[in-house]
Amino acid sequence: MKKLLSYFGPYKVQSVLGPLFKLLEATFELLVPVIVSLIVDRGLGQRAADFTYPDADRGYIVRMSLVLVAFGLVGLVCAVTAQYFAAKAAAGVSAGVRSALFAKLQSLSYSDLDGLGTAAMLTRMTGDVNQLQSGINMALRLFLRSPFIVFGAMIMAFTIDVPSAGIFAGVILLLSVAVFVIMFVCMPLYKKSQARLDKVTLSARENLAGARVLRAFCKEEDERRLFSERNGAYTASQKFVGKISALMNPLTYAILNAAVILLLYVGAIRVDSGSISQGNVLALYNLMSQILVELIKLANLIVTVSRAAACGSRIENVLAMQPSLELFPEGKEGDRVETTEKDDAFIRFDGVSMRYRGGGGNALTDIDFSVKKGETVGVIGGTGSGKTTLVNLLPHFYDVTEGSVKVEGKDVRAYDPAALRARIGIVPQKAVLFKGTIRENLRWGKADATDEELMEAARIAQADKVIEGKGGLDAAVEQGGRNFSGGQRQRLTIARALVRRPDILILDDSASALDYATDAALRRALRSLDYDPAVFVVSQRTSAMHGADKIVVLDEGRAVGIGTHEQLLENCAVYREIYDSQYKTEDGEAAS
Amino acid sequence: MKGKKNTARASLPKGTVRKVLRYVGKYPLSLAATLLLAAVTVGFTLYVPILVGDGIDCIVDAGKVDFSSLWGIFVKIGVSMAITAVAQWLMSVCNNRIAFEVVQRLREDAFGKLTRLPLSYIDSHAHGDTVSRIVADAEQFSDGLLMGFTQFFSGVLTIAGTLAFMFVTSWQIALVVVFVTPLSLFVAKYISSHTYSFFKKQSETRGEQTAFTEEMIANLKTVQAFSHEAENAEKFDEINRRLEKSSLDATFYSSLTNPSTRFVNNLVYALVALIGALYIASGASFSVGDLTIFLSYANQYTKPFNEISGVVTELQNALACAARIFELLGEREESSDAGAEELGEAEGNVSLDGVYFSYTPGQKLIENFSLDVHPGQKVAIVGPTGCGKTTLINLLMRFYDVTGGAVRVDGRDVREVTRKSLRSNYGMVLQETWLKSGTVKENIRMGRPDASDEEVIAAARASHADGFIRRLPQGYDTPLGEEGGSLSQGQRQLLCIARIMLCLPPMLILDEATSSIDTRTELKIGDAFAHLTEGRTSFVVAHRLSTVRTADVILAMDAGRIVEQGTHEQLLAARGFYYRLYNSQFE
């Protein structure tokens, strides 16, 4: 919790004053029964034999009633002040946590992100922080008030009459045991019942998402049976936990009233002996009824706070993560790796092996090749052969396990990641656009790009027609680019990468949704770029390798062939198989 | 969600209450017991403070304590307390039974409906919405029912009982209580109507932030690739600041309700104390004990008022939720299979006879289309994405019914045979690879639950899935999460193929069945496919034209229509749509 506590820093004053004002309010609340007893004892005075009160002090009664109203008013002001401080601290602290969390997530490496998973990250950012906020709010409001009222009532009772107050101590103990035992028995049961509800949800979801398959296999009857089973199990667990949690009210009610009987009995003896007055008994009784409400509030508070604490520790785990990317200490300028021999290669993969964190085998093994400026490199292989992994090493998204990747003779780990990535244009497999306008999206490539620069990049990416068709650079892009087709998105993401006129361009299976003609035009345009980037083209298809100066053939993470198309057809069995599978037909004739 | 509920409430369909009562009415005994027990509970709960007041009246002063009466009172309190406690517990148990079982039935009916809804409903309605009807709405409904029984009914009884007692004891003080208490309701109403806009603002800002977060977190890799972190942080913090402000407003103003109503209650309390004490002083027949009772009633009386206003909203919500479930239950079902005959094992003759079909009336799609497929023939369907290839599959599998003409299998109109017998004659592999949550083995067995392990493994071998399955942590018993979990698209497709390999139905539908499998593996399972399609009527949708050349009939589709029909050679010779499509893949 230490790390999270630091976010309370700017809200120290509120975090202290909130509970204090709550305490004040509670104090005034506790004084109410005392005042009422004063009204009865002093205001009414002695009861005469004829059941009248000859010494009644009406002025006193009115004054004390006004005091009651005044107490209520002061209590109101205190409560409002306390609520404000609590809300302020809760909103402020959680805003700080959210901001820190977002910044932390952005700073993590690809490996870290893989480990966390998108769903978990989103839950941390939204649900967990919201729970934390309401936990803080509740805690600041109640964690002093409820125990204070419960124990305050007991202390008040002690000031009135010690032997009667002993009953309070006993009752508080008994009630606490009852409330907490029931709650702690129920909590895991609720969890279990929630898990069963999840199964019910699963059934419903599956029968919508998988409607075609399930009906094709005539599974409706089975599915209904399964649902009925799950639904029944859920209801049974609901009823079971319901029976136990339903004990709470009757049990506490019984305990409290048993205590009332005892209180009256002890009170009767004490009054009879002249130790206390009738008004005192009345006060004790009123104090007793305040306990129960607060005790139940306290129990609920404990649940909320423990839930919030669980969320808090999950958040803390993320905040405590250190970005795992390996950076050479000299950082931006320094270059620990001695560039002894003058390397004419622009990019060099030097004995590179790479294993994903938590993954069993190597994703890449012993990759060696170099690329000159202006060259086009094709990377080909089946699904899971390591193509994307290979190109992800260039911008230093992942660390190599062995060997090194060098750009201009310098290890990528010696670059500042942002500076390195600024020189690389990437078109990821999944063509994602962001909510905003086309212009905003393209400017991701270069924040200060002019419209001319943007349109120039769009022309090369064959996206100029798309932009025109949508009504220009100001056309709105919906979240995820929903209002664009797959092919349109792909062209725009290519344009986005080209806007920065990158030294290295990476096309990761980026033309899959383009028709053949557009694809060909794109490739022509890329070849004629005036700033000579090194281009990496990743694909499963040999047709995409056309015009590559060098093709790297990957099979299960190994480079099983490096060379030109013709060379590989000649001497690389895997490449030939891929080629044949795409071009050859049964009668042995190549269709192209 | 909130908005949806509000509109639902505004237009609560007639008959919702009646339908709810029909479900609840199946528990007449529990229902009667609940009402009776509630009355008992409330009665005795109200009786106890009277007893306590009497008790306090017995304890007047030193030497003036009436112990003999006290004992009697103690016994009465003890008995009342015991009865209340037992009645209260039994009431909860009955309530739970009604609420949970009603919802269980409702949910079961809704799910049964789900399996009988036509595919057109499922295709055209957001899945999340339907799921939330069956799960979240049902849950909310059960909460509402429960609250309604326990709190609404006993709340009303408590108010009635308290009022009755107070008026009997001292109508003057009772009047004071009756007139001042509703103040707290007004205060609460006033505050909540003013906080509504703050809450709305908060949830809007929160929604905005969640959307932004979702977008950026889901694509963090792209964000980092373009070093866009700083811009994002700036935007995030801007939204975050607004959220902090609106969240503070919403939390603070809504938290005013409790202190304010508490203040009103204190006011009532002070008034009762004042008037009560003055009464006693003036020698009216009003004792300190009576004052005690009044003070505790003043507390008890205001509580149900605050609760009931909450319960009413809750009940309205519950009814709105119930209405959403009933709406689902009222949807038109697929035509019944009753009276339809069994198709039996088909030979594989499929004919479409002057078929007309469209998804939306008035928008023409398939018109007067005929096709005759002989047993064992291979029909390929080609065309650009979105051309309506899946429409044909929808008609073959009878996921949709034709609007004109007929689809026949072995000469029998598919509408005259049961869906089950029709569909079990087809083996289907779709591009959207859907797997059920369960183990790998269970998924392969979907079509033939009685298949032996050896048969399952043989099917997996044939579809080249055996290799990767064995590398999974628990092999064939590896549990797959919802929709296939961590498997790659290609692996999932291999499992879908294995699923078909196991049951080997007489006719096949392969919709881009190998689209996610790399070409080398595809080539390797090609043999298995060739074996599979041999002697079976098959319909193959393919993106890669090389795989359709051997088809007996090729249907070229565009914009939802079948534009050409013939063999590869015929269509090439025609130099039409197919010719252009075929050649475009070679630049």
Q: Which tens digit of pLDDT belongs to each residue from A274-316? A: 888 888 888 888 888 778 777 777 777 877 787 788 888 888 8
Write down the H helix ranges in B219-228: 220-225
Domain assignment of residue B452, yes or no:
yes
Whether residue B11 is found in the same domain as residue B146:
yes
pTM of the model: 0.72
**In Å, how far is A228's CA from the nearest CA of chain B?**
6
Tell me which residue in B93, B225, B287 faces A428 most closely, judged by beta carbons: B225
Domain assignment of residue B419, yes or no:
yes
Whether residue B458 is found in the same domain as residue B311:
no
Angle at which helices A129-142 and A278-319 cross, to 10°? 150
Domain assignment of residue B180, yes or no:
no
Chain A interface mutation, best of B280, B419, B492, B581, highest count of A Cβ atoms under 10 Å: B280
CB < 8 Å to B134, chain A:
200, 204
CB atoms within 10 A of CB A536: 26
Tell me which residue in B218, B222, B483 faces A118 most closely, judged by beta carbons: B218
Chain A residue nearest residue B546, CA to CA = A585
Answer whether B213 touches A (CB < 8 Å): yes
CB atoms within 10 A of CB A243: 14
Which positions 12-31 of B are in contact with A (Cβ < 8 Å)? none
Whether residue B319 is found in the same domain as residue B414:
no
Question: Which tokens go with A218?
Answer: 């005539």
Q: What is the DSSP string of A278-304?
A: HHHHHHHHHHHHHHHHHHHHHHHHHHH
Exposed e or buried b per residue across A563-587, where buried means at least 16 C-beta atoms within 10 angstroms of its C-beta: bebeebeeebebbbbbbbbbbbeee
Distance in angstroms (rounded) separating the CA atoms of residues B292 and A25: 23
pLDDT at A343: 61
What pLDDT, in 10s, does the model give residues A526-546?
A: 888 888 899 999 988 888 887
Whether residue B509 is found in the same domain as residue B537:
yes
Distance in angstroms (rounded) separating the CA atoms of residues A56 and A232: 66
Pick from A380, A462, A371: nearest CA to A409: A371
Tell me which residue in B73, B260, B274 faces A62 most closely, judged by beta carbons: B274
Chain A residue nearest residue B385, CA to CA = A513
pLDDT at B4: 39
Answer whether B530 touches A (CB < 8 Å): no
pLDDT by residue, tens only, chain B of 587 residues: 333 334 334 456 778 888 888 998 899 998 899 889 989 998 898 888 888 888 888 887 777 788 888 899 999 999 999 999 999 999 989 988 999 999 999 999 999 999 999 988 888 887 778 888 888 888 888 888 877 777 788 888 888 888 888 888 888 888 888 887 777 778 877 877 777 788 888 888 888 888 888 888 878 888 888 888 888 899 999 999 999 999 899 888 888 877 888 888 888 888 888 888 888 887 767 788 788 788 877 776 766 766 676 677 778 778 888 888 999 999 988 888 888 888 888 888 999 998 888 888 877 778 888 888 999 898 988 876 656 677 888 899 899 999 989 999 998 999 999 988 899 899 888 777 788 888 899 999 988 889 999 999 999 988 888 878 887 778 888 888 655 556 777 788 888 889 988 988 889 998 877 766 777 777 777 777 777 788 889 998 876 666 777 888 998 887 767 888 888 889 888 888 888 877 766 53
User: Under a CB-based contact definition with an 8 Å cutoff, are residues A371 and A400 in contact?
Assistant: no
Answer whether B572 touches A (CB < 8 Å): no
CB < 8 Å to B211, chain A:
435, 479
State phi, psi for A558 to the nearest 5 degrees.
-110, 145
**Cβ separation B519–A445 shorter than 8 A:** no
Answer whether B420 touches A (CB < 8 Å): yes
Distance in angstroms (rounded) separating the CA atoms of residues B508 and B428: 6
CB < 8 Å to A105, chain B:
217, 220
Whether residue B321 is found in the same domain as residue B358:
no
Domain assignment of residue B102, yes or no:
yes
Distance in angstroms (rounded) separating the CA atoms of residues A216 and A203: 17
**Cβ separation B61–A277 shorter than 8 A:** yes
Structural domain count of chain B? 2
**In Å, how far is A576's CA from the nearest CA of chain B?**
10
User: Under a CB-based contact definition with an 8 Å cutoff, are residues A521 and A462 in contact?
Assistant: yes
Local confidence band at A591 (pLDDT 50, 70, 90 cut-offs): very low
Q: What is the DSSP code (8-state) at residue A405?
A: E
Which range among A147-151, A331-335, B182-186 has the greatest average pLDDT?
A147-151
**Cross-strand partners of B561:** B558
Whether residue B15 is found in the same domain as residue B133:
yes
Question: Sheet holding B507-511: strands in order across?
Answer: B426-429, B507-511, B537-541, B378-382, B553-558, B561-566
Whether residue B432 is found in the same domain as residue B479:
yes
By residue count, chain B amounts to 587
CB < 8 Å to B112, chain A:
224
pLDDT at A359: 58
pLDDT at A588: 40
User: Under a CB-based contact definition with an 8 Å cutoff, are residues B281 and A53 in contact?
Assistant: yes
Distance in angstroms (rounded) separating the CA atoms of residues B437 and A200: 13
Pick from A264, A286, A288: nearest CA to A276: A264
Q: What is the DSSP code (8-state) at residue B336?
A: P
What pLDDT, in 10s, does the model give residues A69-98?
A: 999 899 999 989 998 999 999 999 999 999
Domain assignment of residue B299, yes or no:
no
**Cβ separation A282–B288 shorter than 8 A:** yes
Please report how many Cα atoms fall inside a 13 Å half-sphere around the Cα of residue B252, on the Cβ side.
19
Please report how many Cα atoms fall inside a 13 Å half-sphere around the Cα of residue B183, on the Cβ side.
15
Q: What is the DSSP code (8-state) at residue B150?
A: I
Domain assignment of residue B198, yes or no:
no
Distance in angstroms (rounded) separating the CA atoms of residues B246 and B200: 9
Pick from A589, A111, A534, A581: nearest CA to A380: A581
User: Under a CB-based contact definition with an 8 Å cutoff, are residues B548 and B540 in contact?
Assistant: yes
Q: Which amino acid is at A34?
A: V
Question: Which tokens go with A55?
Answer: 């010494």
pLDDT at A61 over 90: no
Q: What is the DSSP code (8-state) at residue A372?
A: -
Tell me which residue in A80, A210, A271 faces B61 most closely, judged by beta carbons: A271
With H, G, I as helix, E, B as strand and everything else as coil, classify residue B12: coil
What pLDDT, in 10s, does the model give residues A27-48?
A: 888 888 788 888 888 888 777 7
pLDDT at B5: 39
**Cross-strand partners of A377:** A536, A550
For A166-252, list the strands marked E by DSSP.
Answer: none
**Cβ separation A205–B127 shorter than 8 A:** yes
Distance in angstroms (rounded) separating the CA atoms of residues A82 and A68: 21
CB < 8 Å to A66, chain B:
270
Helix (H) or strand (E) run with residue A348 in it: strand A347-354
Write down the H helix ranges in B463-518: 466-471, 489-503
Say which residue the tokens 């902090």 belong to. Answer: B244
Q: Tell me the Ramachandran region of residue A410: left when phi exceeds 0, alpha when psi lies from -120 to 50, beta otherwise.
A: beta
Which positions 308-327 of B are in contact with A (Cβ < 8 Å)? none
Least confident of A9-18, A483-492, B155-164, B513-522: B513-522
Domain assignment of residue B480, yes or no:
yes
Q: Print the domain residue range for B152.
A: 1-169+306-330
Q: What is the DSSP string of A44-83?
A: H-PPPTTS--TT--HHHHHHHHHHHHHHHHHHHHHHHHHH
CB < 8 Å to B121, chain A:
none
Q: What is the DSSP code (8-state) at residue B388?
A: S
Task: Compute the Cα dihedral for B475, B478, B484, B486 and give only its sign.
Answer: negative
Pick from A581, A462, A477, A460: nearest CA to A515: A462
CB < 8 Å to B247, chain A:
91, 94-95, 133
Tell me which residue in A39, A271, A516 faces B65 most closely, judged by beta carbons: A271
pLDDT at A230: 94
Answer whether B559 touches A (CB < 8 Å): no
pLDDT at A334: 42
Q: What is the CATH number of the domain that holds B371?
A: 3.40.50.300
pLDDT at A225 over 90: yes
Q: Tell me the Ramachandran region of residue B504: left when phi exceeds 0, alpha when psi lies from -120 to 50, beta otherwise.
A: left
pLDDT at A370 over 80: yes
Angle at which helices A451-460 and A516-527 cross, to 10°? 120
CB < 8 Å to B130, chain A:
204, 208
**Cβ separation A274–B52 shorter than 8 A:** no
CB < 8 Å to A211, chain B:
119, 122
pLDDT at B483: 52
Tell me which residue in B93, B273, B283 faces A36 most closely, judged by beta carbons: B273
Q: Tell me the average pLDDT of chain A.
A: 84
**In Å, how far is B106's CA from the nearest CA of chain A?**
10
Pick from A343, A334, A352: nearest CA to A415: A334
Domain assignment of residue B274, yes or no:
no
Given B296, B330, B364, which residue is the final one in a domain?
B330
Pick from B5, B3, B1: nearest CA to B318: B5
Chain A interface mutation, best of B80, B158, B266, highest count of A Cβ atoms under 10 Å: B266
Chain A interface mutation, best of B111, B541, B546, highest count of A Cβ atoms under 10 Å: B111
Whether residue B323 is found in the same domain as residue B381:
no
Q: How large is the average pLDDT for residues A318-323?
A: 86
Whether residue B528 is found in the same domain as residue B467:
yes
pLDDT at B73: 92
Instruction: Compute and round to an integer the Cα radius of gyration of chain B.
Output: 36
Torsion of CA B541, B546, B552, B553, to 10 degrees: 50
Whether residue B120 is found in the same domain as residue B156:
yes
Tell me which residue in B59, B84, B436 faces A253 most closely, judged by beta carbons: B84
| Pairing assessment for the beta strands B412-413 and B426-429 based on DSSP bridges | unpaired
Say which residue the tokens 């009204």 belong to. Answer: A39
| Pairing assessment for the beta strands B378-382 and B366-373 based on DSSP bridges | unpaired
Whether residue B394 is found in the same domain as residue B425:
yes
Q: What is the CATH number of the domain that holds B161?
A: 1.20.1560.10
Whether residue B404 is found in the same domain as residue B441:
yes
**Cβ separation B423–A122 shorter than 8 A:** no
State phi, psi for A183 to the nearest 5 degrees.
-65, -40
CB < 8 Å to B291, chain A:
40, 282
CB < 8 Å to A273, chain B:
62
Tell me which residue in B96, B428, B518 faces A216 most closely, judged by beta carbons: B428
**Cβ separation B225–A395 shorter than 8 A:** yes
**Cβ separation B586–A516 shorter than 8 A:** yes
CB < 8 Å to A68, chain B:
266, 269-270, 273-274
State phi, psi for A427 to the nearest 5 degrees.
-115, 100
User: Under a CB-based contact definition with an 8 Å cutoff, are residues A305 and A143 in contact?
Assistant: yes
**Cβ separation B522–A98 shorter than 8 A:** no
Chain B residue nearest residue A84, CA to CA = B252
Tell me which residue in A25, A267, A435 faces B215 most closely, judged by beta carbons: A435
With H, G, I as helix, E, B as strand and everything else as coil, classify residue B39: helix
Query: What do you get for the CA distance between the two ends of chain A, in Å?
Result: 66
User: Under a CB-based contact definition with an 8 Å cutoff, are residues B371 and B352 in contact?
Assistant: yes
Query: What do you get for the CA distance between the two ends of chain B, in Å?
Result: 51
Tell me which residue in A65, A106, A250 faces B233 most closely, judged by beta carbons: A106
Answer whether B274 touches A (CB < 8 Å): yes
